[in-house]
Structure 1
Amino acid sequence: MAASKITAKIFRRKYLSYDSMSTPLRRCLTMFDLTVLGISNMISSGIYVLSGVVAKEKAGPAVILSYLFAGLAMFLSCICYAEFGARVPKAGSAFTFTYLTLGEICAFVVGWDAILERMLSAAASAKGWSTMMDGMFNNAVENYTIDNIGTIDVTGFSHYIDLVAFGVTILGIVFISVGVKILTNANIAITVVNVISLIIVIVVGFMAGSVRNWTVNSPGGFLPFGVHGIFAGTASLFYTFVGFESVTNAAEEASDPVRQIPKAILIALLFTGLMYVGASMSLTLMIPYNLIDLGSPFPSALRYIGYQWAVYVVSIGAVVGISTSIVLDQYGLARNVYAMSSDGLLFSVFAWVHPKARTPIIASLTFGIIVAILAMLLKYSTLIEFLSIGTLISFTTVSACVLVTRYLDPEGSSDISKRPLSETSTILDSGYGVTTAIQHVQPELKKYYQKFPFLVRHSGAHIIYIVIVLIVFFTMMGMFATDINYHNRGYCYFVLVFCTIGLLCSVFILQMYEQRNRPPSFTVPFVPYIPVASIVANTTLLTQLPGLAWLRYFLWLILGLAIYFVYGVRHSLLNEEDSEEKVMKTTYSSTDLTEKTLCEEKDSGSESPASVRRFD
């Protein structure tokens, strides 16, 4: 009995009520603001620093393919985010989506991962900014610090205390505390400078570069690290696209999130993907991959071909671009912490919003200082490897959430008042209003499959969850077998064929069931294929990350779960909604509101307004 109560408590789901669109944050961002927010947060250290690291150490000139594969995997995840961003325009991104779909403990893990992701992303950007700036002055700061303070000889740590990275992170805290509109206006101007400088560098590389640097001048040719190097590079470069999450994190500050967020996400991703591919081609055309300077890849490549004036152009673009990323990563971090604290899962002090600036200032200050310390002490490569795990797990979970909502949540009813009160509760729909949602219901088999007794006999809901787990399992098993038994080709092929058959069977099982919930706004097309492809792509990339990164992640996860079971589970706002009387009161209120509005529309003959739009 006690175990069942605990299970019910940690897997309880959140429902958004009629007033869920109300927020202490200021709704002032346009679609253009959101698109630029996504672009500026993606075009940062990921292109100016990480492209050189991946090209030199993991993929060679095939870094171009790594960017393409990373962009494709991210596109699949972006579509899933876009649907949830339109349906649930609240701060918190993947955390909020998972809370509504899979339950509290799953949401906490995803939210905890998102905090890790944003902290490390901001720290990596600060580290990249410091490296870039110091490189422009012949490493004067690094040399001064080593001479006067000394070095650090610990695995995973920077070899010196990076005070520049610490300082620029502190400046970022100041910027995100002044208010989102001021931040956005400055961001637009900076992004324009960043994009123009990058376009100039791409053009110069195409004009002055040589294809010989992909073949003759490149040790090992175009694929010096083989196919494995491409996927290893893809796993690292995946981080460069995560900036699109800043769009969904800004949902509570968007003026029309339902229409703006899906478009802003997809436009930002497409534009950034084209810039990444063009820039990586330009870099590897200008200089052989083995000669790239890891600290400043583009300036070193431009010096190599004798374009000194372009060095200053790319340096300006890099400095302003990475500066923006530092600020926006901390912006997203503060919103993630704010969302979890508002739900009672983290300490409530982090949910405090400054009455004038209307920003979560305590969350910004506290976690900003942690970011500054990480940037000051850890190596860039350590930050990137650690970062990718949390990101990929969050994206995999959101893709699974799309499958769950499509097969286990109900269709909208044309007459809500006829639903049994015990089955209904309120949830925000894409029209900002009230609709009804049944607790996860049994998925309905398609008519053809209903004649098979063994299918009808088993719980469809359990089958859906089992299938999602099997998809992840078969993917990881296949990729691990490929890595471990690379030289035992017979065994490797057998495992890959077995896993492929398992994946196809899993998708076939999903196809046996009717899809229930299709929101009237943006919808992921080709379900279940796109969400399954996203899960497979993200899981494949997870298998490419080193074991040490996994160890660090599990330590972070243990810390988070300790906080959840000691504090979060007892202070969750859902504790206040557990009584049946309160749930029924909410249900009566929402049903009465809908009935009243529908009657008024019938009398006036007008179209249903957005405030009572339902899933049909």
Structure 2
Amino acid sequence: MASLAEAWHAARRRLLRTKPAPVATAAGGSAPDGEARLAKVLSTPDLVSLGAGSCAGTGMYVVAGLVAKTLAGPGVVLSFAAAAAASLLSGACYAELGVRVPRTSGSAYAYSYVTVGELAAFLIGWNLILEYLIGTAAGASALSAALDSLSGGAVRRYAAARLGGLSALGGGPGDPPDPLAALIVLLTALVVALGVRNSAVLNNVLNAVNAAAWAFVVLAGLFFVSARNWEEDGGFLPFGWSGVMQGAATCFYAFIGFDIIATTGEEAQDPAASIPYAIAASLATCLLAYVSVSVVLTLAVPYRRIDGSAPLMGMFAAHGFRWGEYAAAAGSVAGLGVSLLGSLFPMPRIIYAMASDGLLFRCLSHVWARTRTPAAACAISGLLASVLALVVSLRELIQMMSIGTLLAYSLVSVCVLLLRHRPDDDDDDLHHSADGQDDDAPDFHEGPAPVARLRAGLGVPPPGARPTEASARTAARCTLAFFALSFVLWGAVVLGPGGAAGAALWAPAAAGLAALLLTLLRQPRSGRRLAYAAPCVPFLPAAAILVNSYFMLKLSALTWARFAVWCALGLLIYGGYGAWHSSLEMSARQEEAGASSYRRFDEHLDDDDPRRPSSYRDGAYDPEDGDGRPGYQNGAYERNGDDDDVGYQRGGSRENEDGSYCMEESKN
């Protein structure tokens, strides 16, 4: 039993070990001196362009028409607004962590490695890779479909003739594999591998074309709008509010572009200032684009007649406006191209960060010295995404949704709560004076008397209170319990029965969440000064967790099944490689090997042997015991001065070819 308990504790420590924040600030945390680093060339406008462009294409040219036609009708406008609100909550948490750990190429993966633990970090990074794979393949397939439409179907006919009776996974008999989509992915991967500056320049050019097409589509579409399309055939909400929320879960996929901003923190010129601004600006730009296009689209065409694969081109085609159709096609090519670039750009950087930490194969962390980009990660990203785009149909890719990203965003909010309640380090820049009070915060008892009484009644600590190890443990338990209980709540609401029977299921979960939130509110928070901090903690991160978990449970059972298979594959890789080759594991082994190499010359002597130093008492040397010998405490040796008359020997360690360590004792 003792051995099982020890094995359990050892496994638990391995799975929950975290990287210190200073270590996590480096690119991947393990690049030795002299190796190539990522280039810091991205300005704030570059980050805004990357964030907005990476999702604006897919949202306008694919998601808007799909959600309007199949899920929400004209209510797609509200779906985009709800998804934007959820993204803003997660974006505020992302921005704080991006400022806390600005020099990181791993985004939510690196943040969670600092706070949640190694296993959770691996799962987050692994699922972000999945989401970017899907986004890249879907963008390439949509771009291939747009080019096929411009060519009058010549691309599909050519593929069908060359590939015989093969069909893409999830497609019908008329949906052959898509070699053009695979070629588009490989060309995009080459552009990304050639350098960040080249990628940013191409991204900015495509964004300019996309913005011009967006303005044209909205202005030209106003000539064809009719209010009857919002009044007939079910009205504005033909699928009800349930359809709006289901549509919001799908529309959330259209807002995941701000994640690319956090992944490029190491390549940003001023990450602390530019990351929060770029996230907010990109979300606002995308929301404006989606709402304006959705309004025009659903007013110009009845929602049942929207072309699901090319909605804006179909809108102008329905009214016989050929020039508008061509303009929408040009914008579709540019928008989907920049969306494809935005999906493929962060994927190799996450692979690079995980490989640098040893959780994935370390050969993937190679940086091409000429372009200072993760060339190996770019190659494997392009290869995997091209295969996915070749063999899986666009319809099936769109259905694979964004469950991994929603989970990653939820855990980012968990990270914010954990960091806010973690004790401050001695070298932290704290914004409180020597007496423990904040210099820039009002006194706890100042302000309106009702507010002061309410805070005192709730047990909210004064601003000068600082977290301790005990309060941090309490906050961590409450945060993790809140995260788990949120799924119980929404599971009862979404999947449970209605009426009183349903309330009997979700009401206890809601009460438990409220109690956990109140407990978090009573815990003191960190006084570390940050360039940006998420407001309204713990309420804002808690709201982000609730919204994201709700959207996750609105996704289909097939999406959850695919998610489970992908996670199982990742766990096999982590258990077979990552857990034993991570940088933290290798450091722990080296420290253990170094500690075991210490030897004392008198270990073979009995306690009463006259040759044993008189200062030795119960296995410990006392440096104040009069004989002036160096101190030996709890099996650890500490040298006091240059005198080595104790005869204490320290050996070295070397690594065998099989990866094990052997000890070498030095001789006097």
Higher mean C-alpha deviation, range 469-478 or range 5-14: 469-478
Number of the residue aligned with 2:106: 92
Residue 3 of structure 1: how far off its partner (Å): 1.6
CA distance in structure 1 between the partners assigned to 2:289 and 2:24 by the alignment: 40
Per-residue CA deviation, residues 171-196 of structure 1 (Å, 9 max, x unaligned), is 11111111111211121121111011
Contact 2:16 2:117 in 1 (8 A): yes
Task: Please say if residues 202 and 279 of structure 1, whose CA atoms lie closer than 8 Å, have aligned partners that are also in contact.
Answer: yes
SS in 2 for 1:247: helix
Whether the 8 Å CA contact 1:190–1:324 is kept in 2: the answer is: yes
Task: Quote how far apart the aligned CAs of 1:477 are.
Answer: 3.0
Within the candidate set 505, 515, 522, 2:532 is matched to 522
Alpha-carbon distance in 1 for matches of 2:495, 2:342: 39
| Match of residue 660 from structure 2 | none
1:481 and 2:486 are equivalent in the alignment: no
Task: State the alpha-carbon separation in 1 of the partners of residues 406 and 54 from structure 2.
Answer: 18
1:125 partner amino acid = G
Task: Give me the identity figure in percent.
Answer: 32
Describe the shift of the 1:95–1:489 C-alpha distance in structure 2 as closer, same or farther (beyond 3 A): same
Which has the higher mean CA deviation after the structures are superposed, 153-162 or 344-353? 153-162
Structure 1 residues 157 and 345: CA distance shift in structure 2, 3 A: farther
1:141 equivalent in structure 2: 155
Deviation at 1:204, TM superposition (A): 2.3
Q: Give yes or no for the alignment of 1:471 onto 2:509.
A: no
Aligned to 1:163: 179
Q: Does 1:534 align with 2:544?
A: yes
Q: Which residue is 1:575 aligned to?
A: 585
Shift of the 239–60 alpha-carbon distance from structure 1 to 2, 3 Å rule, reads same
| Superposition deviation, residue 539 in structure 1 | 0.2
- Call closer, same or farther: CA 1:505–1:207 in 2, change over 3 Å: farther
Read off the aligned partner of 1:233 and give its amino acid letter: G
Q: CA deviation at 1:490?
A: 2.5
**2:261 touches 2:279 (CA, 8 Å); kept in 1?**
yes
Name which structure has the greater RCO, CA cutoff 8 Å, separation 6+. 1
Q: When you count helix as a share of all residues, which structure comes out higher?
A: 1
Provide the residue aligned with 2:599 in structure 1.
Answer: none
Counterpart among 497, 500, 516 of residue 510 in structure 2: 500
> 1:480 Cα shift?
2.9
The superposition leaves residues 455-510 of structure 1 with CA deviations (integer Å, 9 ceiling, x where unpaired) of x9x96445433433443344333333333345x42323443443333322221111
- Structure 1 residues 452-467: aligned runs within 5 Å: 460-467=471-478
Counterparts in 2 of 1:277 and 1:371: CA distance versus 1, 3 Å: same
Q: How many angstroms does 1:147 deviate by?
A: 4.2
Per-residue deviation, 1:249: 1.2
* Structure 1 segment 225-264 matched on structure 2, within 5 A: 225-264=239-278
Q: Which runs of 5+ in 2 are unaligned?
A: 1-5, 28-35, 431-455, 462-466, 596-668
Q: Contact 1:101–1:401 (CA<8 Å) still a contact in 2? A: yes
> Which structure 1 segments of 5+ residues have no match?
417-444, 451-455, 586-616
1:102 aligns with 2:139: no
Q: 1:315, CA displacement in angstroms? A: 1.0
Q: 1:7 to 1:512 in 2, by over 3 A?
A: same
Alignment partner for residue 401 of structure 1, among 411, 415, 419? Answer: 415
Q: Is the 8 A contact 2:475 2:523 kept in 1?
A: no
Instruction: Call closer, same or farther: CA 1:476–1:155 in 2, change over 3 Å.
Output: farther
- 5 Å matches for 1:538-577? 538-577=548-587
Give matches, 1:296-315, under 5 Å.
Answer: 296-315=310-329
**1:97 positional shift:** 0.2
Distance in 1, matches of 2:17 and 2:42, equals 32
The residue that corresponds to 1:59 in the other structure is 72
User: What secondary structure sits across from 2:371 in the alignment?
Assistant: coil
When residues 580 and 165 of structure 1 are mapped into structure 2, their CA distance, relative to the original with a 3 A threshold, is closer
Tell whether 2:280 aligns with 1:266. Answer: yes
CA distance in 1, matches of 2:151, 2:209: 22
Deviation of 1:109 after TM superposition, in Å, equals 0.6
Please say if residues 418 and 479 of structure 2, whose CA atoms lie closer than 8 Å, have aligned partners that are also in contact.
Answer: no
Aligned twin of 1:179: 195
Contact 2:129 2:351 (C-alpha < 8 Å) held by counterparts: yes
Question: What is the deviation of 1:262?
Answer: 1.1
RMSD, aligned CA: 2.7
In the alignment, what sits opposite 2:58? 45
Partner of residue 83, structure 1: 96
Q: Do the aligned partners of residues 28 and 413 (structure 1) sit closer, same or farther apart at CA in structure 2, a change above 3 Å counting?
A: closer
Q: How far off is 1:20 after superposition? A: 4.6
Q: Deviations over 1:35-94 (max 9, x none)?
A: 111111121122201211111111111111110000000000000000011111210000
SS at structure 2 position matched to 1:578: helix
1:490 aligns with 2:504: no
Partner AA of 1:166 in structure 2: A
Any residues of structure 2 matched to 1:576-591 within 5 Å, and which? Answer: 576-578=586-588
Equivalent-residue separation in structure 1 for 2:296 and 2:481 (angstroms): 41
Q: Using a 3 Å threshold, how does the CA distance of structure 1 residues 312 and 65 change in structure 2: closer, same or farther?
A: same
Are 2:2 and 1:3 aligned? no
Whole-angstrom distance in 2 between the partners of 1:300 and 1:101: 48
Deviation string for 1:368-409 (max 9, x for gaps)? 111011111213343233341111000000001000101134
Query: Which structure 2 residues correspond to residues 281-296 of structure 1 after superposition, within 5 A?
Result: 281-296=295-310
Hey, what does 1:24 align to over in structure 2? 37
Q: Distance in 2 between matches of 1:519 and 1:379?
A: 49
CA distance in 2, matches of 1:398, 1:446: 31
Identify which range, 475-484 or 71-80, moves more after superposition.
Answer: 475-484
Conserved 8 A contact 1:411-1:516: no
Question: Partner of 2:207 in structure 1?
Answer: 191
